Chains A and B, each alone.
Chain A
Amino acid sequence: MMTIEEFGRRFRDGEVTSTQVTEECLRRIDADNARLNAFTLVMADEALRRAREADKEFTSGTDRGPLHGVPISIKDIIDIRGVPTTASSRVREGHVAERDAPVIAHLRQAGAVLVGKTNLHEFAFGTTSEDSAFGAVKNPRDPARSAGGSSGGSGASVAAGMALASIGTDTGGSVRIPAAVCGTVGLKPTLGEISIDGVVPLSRTMDHVGPLTASVADASLVYHALLGDTRTAPPVPMPMHGLRLAVPRKYFCDLLDNEVRARFEAAIDRLRASGAHIDEIEIRHATDIAPVYLHIVLSDAAAYHAHTLETVPDRYTPPVRLRLEMGRYVMAEDYVRALAGREVLAREVDAALAQHDALVLPTLPIVAPPIGAATVEVGSTREPVRNVMLRLTQLFNVTGHPAVSIPMGPTSSGLPCGIQLVGCRHQTDALLKVALACEPQITGISVPRGGTVGG
């Protein structure tokens, strides 16, 4: 994976053009998309036209900032004017977006080159990207395994070098989960920071837009572009010495695959050895997270889909239809209980962060599950795939705290896994400064992950 930072340096030094890098991404899409099923739509002609414009603009003296000429893929749940927003569902057959979502407008303003739209779990309502009108997304590291979800095509496209970044959405972990299993960085900003207008909703109260990238610095650059802020450099990393990190072991480390646990403990050891102060803390009410999340997301999703569940039920994939139908049976009193629980959980996470710069926990208890698996072995138990994949991420959609997943090195079988850093609400930039400092210790490599895209 070439980073956006690396591209920017080489682009501005005249070593590489946007057209060359875009052509390389399109070549990789052409070579691998049939195998990985990452894209629902490849916008090759428009991408090349935009890339040539970006090159021409730059040589004539206009520099739009760090995303100028950068090829980016977009989850097919976000409106791009003039093309369908399918949400990977037959329910939306015939749809064509009339205007760009604000985040797309911001990316265009920043000079990004949109290479295409990426496959996802239908209506973002799943963690494996298997239930899709376009078929399952495959993991680039092992095509027999899931690319995670719901932004599975986004994770696969970045990991396979088909784009330098992707824009996903995250309602229970849908940016961070594919980032972890595909080996990329994934950022869920603070709830409400980035516009979700022009995005097909799953839960309007928990949906977030966020980037998947090759590095934390790139995530920061894309995050700021999504805000409409074209700053030219990532923030300065926090000093490692004296950094205060908190590990919530109870619940969050109770159920982990042995190899994920080993990678996590090794990363914690490296962080401690680098000068970070590591405390162990407890987040009270953690066992209530899943019921609280479930009652909110089911109700919100059922409300949005009620009409089409009546008129075109057979156009949904059966598992997603059943999940949406489940939401129609949630009682109002339980939805209200869940809202009360949401406030309690937000206060608990605030309290856990009061004396710390970030929480540190695994992103996922497992590596990428095999495609088609309903359950997965975790330590000595078998767990439902969906439950276990959401277990460590969904809390921060409930509470709105910013969270970033960073690769913590492959397991012995070569599969990626991720570590999650969580910051204070409305302090996404502060979290990114912590993440920039921790990234070399977490990945176990001291230089940014390099790549060969663009030669």
Chain B
Amino acid sequence: MTIDAWLQAAIADAERRGLPDLKPVLETLAKATTALRAADFNQSAVDSRQSKVESRKSATESSDQSSDDSRRNQSSVDSR
């Protein structure tokens, strides 16, 4: 779920529950969540995923299309 979609849903829920004062608090949380998702350690996960993709590409380009490669690619996609 994107942070924008989450924030809209959360504010709507808070209003439905009679807690309009939660809106600024939720906006603060949204900023913190944006920062959390932008953290370097999350980017590292993206990097490692990219490197898997790179190594997969490399393996595909440099070798025959063996059934083993095919299975490995599928599982990389799955885990991604």
Specify which chain B residues have a CB less than 8 angstroms from the CB of A281 in the assembled complex: none
| Complex CA distance for A288 and B25, rounded to whole angstroms | 19
A338 contacts B by Cβ under 8 Å: yes
When the two chains form their complex, are residues A291 and B32 in contact, meaning their CB atoms are under 8 A apart? yes
Measured as residues with beta carbon below 8 angstroms from the partner, the interface class of chain A is: 20 to 34
When the two chains form their complex, are residues B32 and A341 in contact, meaning their CB atoms are under 8 A apart? no
| Complex CA distance for A323 and B19, rounded to whole angstroms | 12
Cβ 8 A contact of B1, one of A288, A331, A340? A331
Specify which chain B residues have a CB less than 8 angstroms from the CB of A298 in the assembled complex: 29
In terms of DSSP, what is the predominant structure of the interface of chain B? helix
| Complex CA distance for A331 and B1, rounded to whole angstroms | 9
Given contacts A292-B39, A322-B25, A323-B25, 13 further A-B contacts (CB under 8 A): A288-B36, A288-B39, A288-B40, A291-B35, A318-B21, A325-B19, A326-B28, A329-B10, A329-B13, A331-B6, A334-B33, A340-B42, A341-B39
The list of the 8 closest CB pairs from A to B, nearest first, reads A291-B36, A288-B39, A291-B35, A291-B32, A344-B41, A329-B10, A326-B25, A294-B32
When the two chains form their complex, are residues A285 and B41 in contact, meaning their CB atoms are under 8 A apart? yes
Residue of A nearest to B39 (CB): A288
Specify which chain B residues have a CB less than 8 angstroms from the CB of A344 in the assembled complex: 41
A145 contacts B by Cβ under 8 Å: no
B26 contacts A by Cβ under 8 Å: yes
A337 contacts B by Cβ under 8 Å: yes
B57 contacts A by Cβ under 8 Å: no
Specify which chain B residues have a CB less than 8 angstroms from the CB of A294 in the assembled complex: 29, 32
B13 to chain A, nearest CB (A): 8
Specify which chain A residues have a CB less than 8 angstroms from the CB of B80 in the assembled complex: none
Number of interface residues of B (CB under 8 A): 21
When the two chains form their complex, are residues A322 and B41 in contact, meaning their CB atoms are under 8 A apart? no
Residue of B nearest to A384 (CB): B28
Specify which chain A residues have a CB less than 8 angstroms from the CB of B39 in the assembled complex: 285, 288, 291-292, 337, 341
| Complex CA distance for A330 and B28, rounded to whole angstroms | 12
Tell me whether A338 and B19 are in contact in the complex, defined as CB-CB below 8 angstroms, given that A294-B29, A326-B29, A330-B29 are known contacts.
no
When the two chains form their complex, are residues B22 and A322 in contact, meaning their CB atoms are under 8 A apart? yes
Chain B positions within 8 Å of A, measured between CB atoms, are 1, 6, 10, 13-14, 19, 21-22, 25-26, 28-29, 32-33, 35-37, 39-42
In terms of DSSP, what is the predominant structure of the interface of chain A? helix
When the two chains form their complex, are residues B36 and A325 in contact, meaning their CB atoms are under 8 A apart? no
Tell me whether A295 and B32 are in contact in the complex, defined as CB-CB below 8 angstroms, given that A326-B22, A329-B10, A340-B41 are known contacts.
yes
Chain A positions within 8 Å of B, measured between CB atoms, are 284-285, 287-288, 290-292, 294-295, 298, 318, 322-323, 325-326, 329-331, 334, 337-338, 340-341, 344
| Complex CA distance for A287 and B28, rounded to whole angstroms | 16
| Complex CA distance for A325 and B6, rounded to whole angstroms | 15
Residue of B nearest to A284 (CB): B40
Cβ 8 A contact of A326, one of B26, B36, B40? B26
| Complex CA distance for A338 and B35, rounded to whole angstroms | 11
Cβ 8 A contact of A334, one of B13, B25, B37? B37
Cβ 8 A contact of A291, one of B13, B14, B19, B33? B33
Specify which chain A residues have a CB less than 8 angstroms from the CB of B42 in the assembled complex: 337, 340
When the two chains form their complex, are residues B41 and A341 in contact, meaning their CB atoms are under 8 A apart? yes
| Complex CA distance for A309 and B6, rounded to whole angstroms | 21
B47 to chain A, nearest CB (A): 14
When the two chains form their complex, are residues A325 and B22 in contact, meaning their CB atoms are under 8 A apart? yes
Specify which chain B residues have a CB less than 8 angstroms from the CB of A325 in the assembled complex: 14, 19, 22, 25
Residue of A nearest to B1 (CB): A331
Specify which chain A residues have a CB less than 8 angstroms from the CB of B37 in the assembled complex: 334, 337
- 19 A–B pairs (Cβ distance < 8 Å), ordered by A: A285-B39, A285-B41, A288-B35, A288-B36, A288-B40, A291-B39, A292-B36, A295-B36, A322-B22, A323-B25, A325-B14, A325-B22, A326-B22, A329-B26, A329-B29, A334-B37, A337-B42, A340-B41, A340-B42
Specify which chain A residues have a CB less than 8 angstroms from the CB of B33 in the assembled complex: 291, 295, 330-331, 334
